[in-house]
Structure 1
Amino acid sequence: MAYLNFAALQGSPIATPVDLIAAPRSQTGFSALEWQVVAIAQHDRLSSLEKPGKLSVALGMIFGGQRPNPELADTRLEALRRLAVLAWHKGYAVPRAAIRAFHEAGFSLEQYETLLASISRGRAALNQGNRA
């Protein structure tokens, strides 16, 4: 049987408070504004991700048409919208370029996972509603 001398540890803490503070966790959720962008993206078409062609721009100028969902001014929110639109339409089959742009906009891997899990639940709920 082995013997451990714990007397040396009495009176001195094993771990200091600095040791107990974990590395800052990356953010997993989104702000209310970001969740609104995700909700709005549910109704956007995949075509909202494409740049309008020259003919479309010309016809819009002549007839006064306007794109229903122009790009968001905030590049971070636009990256979120683009990924959310793709996830609403394609589920987990999101192109790598969109994921890369999402991360380059400052979002974390945990936020990516939260977004896809939330949209997946939303898609499942919509599919259950369509069956009833």
Structure 2
Amino acid sequence: MAYLNFSTLEGSPIAAPADLVAAPRTATGFSALEWQVIAIAQNDRLSSLEKPGRLATALTMVFGGQRPNPSLADSRLEALRRLAVHAWHKGYTVPRAAIRAFHEAGFTLEQYETLLASISRGRAALNQGIRA
């Protein structure tokens, strides 16, 4: 039988706080405003991501009226909206340019995964007729 002498520890911790360095956490969630942008993007059409063509511009000038400009003033939120619109309409088939713009806006890979997982659950609920 083996014997370990624990009396040498004399109540001192086995690992010192300096030994327990926590890895920096990356953000995985979104703020309330960002979640609102994601929810609003559900009702946006894919055409909201494109600039109006010459004909649409000419018709607007002739007949008046205004084409609603859905783009957001904050470029970070606009990158989030664009990615969310693609995800709501195409699921996981998001264009690389939208992903690149999302990351360049300062969002992390973990936030990208959170966004796609959340929208995927929302799409599945809509397909089953459940409002999430």
In structure 2, distance between residues paired with 1:42 and 1:79: 15
SS in 2 for 1:35: helix
Q: CA deviation at 1:24?
A: 1.8
Letter of the structure 1 residue corresponding to residue 60 of structure 2 = G
How far apart are 1:72 and its partner, in Å?
Answer: 0.5
Match of 1:49 in 2: 49
Query: Which residue identity is paired with 1:20?
Result: L
- Deviation sequence 1:67-101 (CA, Å, 0-9, x none): 23421110000000000000000000111111111
Show the counterpart of 2:61: 61
Deviates more, 1:55-64 or 1:99-108: 55-64
SS at match of 1:60: helix
Give CA-to-partner distance per residue, 1:27-79, whole Å, 9 cap, x none.
11111111111111001100000111222223223322322342111000000
Q: Where in structure 2 are the equivalents of 1:28-39 lying within 5 Å?
A: 28-39=28-39
Counterpart residue number, 1:87: 87
State the shift of 1:20 in Å: 2.1
Give me the TM-score of the superposition, normalised by structure 1. Answer: 0.84
TM-align CA RMSD: 2.3
Partner amino acid, structure 2, of 1:78: E
Q: Within 5 Å, which residues of 2 pair with 1:111-130?
A: 111-129=111-129
Name the count of aligned residue pairs: 130
Give ranges in structure 1 of 5+ residues lacking alignment.
none
Identity of aligned residues (%): 84
